[in-house]
């Protein structure tokens, strides 16, 4: 929950210009996506039109329409220009008590409208200290992706975000992150197939910045980053993109 509408427009335009000025070339398999708050979606879509930057919403509601005051549907965010939506962010799970069952409904609603999903999973500090990280991850993956087909998995990105490393300044070591990413991939192999597991993009999110991105991206099973606070300034975000592509 950052930036007024004019500020969000300026940030999106700044990211677009920084990418051009630094002559950063995005290959076909590279994607840069920004996720402003709901009321900035349409203005930001206008700022990034014609660029390779994609647009994501931060959340949605699983019903198509109705008396759900304050909620936004998949069709609504798609009409605003979104191709992606973030589902299950740790803050949604923690502050708004969103369950795996609710998130599963949201994923299905998004896919039903042709949106791609960035599905967030991750353990709390207490769960890590209790050595139940893997069982938490297994449950979130299994229950969150219940009823999803192999073909639908091509529209889903998994984002591992250890809750203890979000907004705390703490970052999982590359080895810690890789260990969980490899486990997530193994779970996808069991739930779907080795082919799906290999093809699924698994991002890391948790206080990612320009100083940590290269070591994280050097890990075998880390395919990208879900960037939080460091994305609020165009130059720092583009620096992360630039270093992440090396």
Q: Is 161 a catalytic residue?
A: yes
* Three-class secondary structure of residue 31 per DSSP: coil
Nearest to 226 by CA among 175, 168, 166: 166
* Three-class secondary structure of residue 77 per DSSP: helix
Lookup: tokens for 221 = 């099973």
Determine which one of 138, 161, 181, 239 is catalytic. Answer: 161
Residue 179 half-sphere exposure toward CB, CA atoms < 13 A? 9
Nearest to 210 by CA among 18, 2, 3, 17: 18
Torsion of CA 178, 171, 225, 26, to 10 degrees: -100
59 within 8 A of 92, measured Cβ to Cβ? yes
Q: Is 89 a catalytic residue?
A: yes
Strand 156-160 versus strand 32-34 pairing type: unpaired
Lookup: tokens for 226 = 């879900």
In DSSP terms, 203 is beta-bridged to 159, 224
Give CA–CA dist 38/41, Å, rounded: 5
130 within 8 A of 142, measured Cβ to Cβ? no
Determine which one of 18, 89, 91, 181 is catalytic. Answer: 89
Which residues are catalytic, by number? 89, 161
């Amino acid at each position: 929950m950052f930036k007024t509408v004019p500020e969000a427009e300026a940030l999106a335009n700044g990211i677009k210009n920084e990418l051009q000025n630094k002559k950063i070339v995005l290959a076909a398999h590279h994607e840069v996506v920004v996720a402003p708050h709901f009321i900035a979606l349409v203005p930001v879509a206008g700022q990034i039109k014609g660029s390779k930057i994609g647009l994501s919403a931060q959340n949605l509601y699983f019903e198509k329409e109705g008396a759900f005051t304050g909620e936004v549907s998949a069709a609504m965010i798609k009409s605003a220009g979104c191709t992606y939506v973030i589902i299950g962010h740790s803050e949604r799970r923690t502050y708004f008590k969103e369950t795996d069952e609710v998130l599963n409904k949201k994923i299905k609603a998004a896919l039903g409208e042709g949106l791609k999903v960035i599905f967030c999973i991750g353990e709390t500090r207490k769960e890590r200290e209790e050595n139940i990280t893997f069982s938490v991850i297994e449950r979130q993956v299994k229950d969150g992706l219940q009823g999803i087909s192999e073909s639908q998995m091509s529209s889903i990105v998994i984002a591992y975000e250890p809750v203890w490393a979000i907004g705390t300044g703490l970052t999982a070591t590359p080895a810690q992150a890789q260990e969980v990413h490899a486990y997530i991939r193994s779970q996808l192999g069991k739930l779907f197939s080795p082919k799906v597991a290999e093809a699924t993009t698994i991002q890391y999110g948790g206080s990612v910045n320009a100083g940590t991105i290269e070591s994280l991206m050097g890990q075998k099973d880390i395919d990208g980053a879900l960037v939080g606070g460091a994305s609020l300034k165009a130059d720092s975000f583009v620096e992360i993109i630039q270093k992440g592509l090396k």
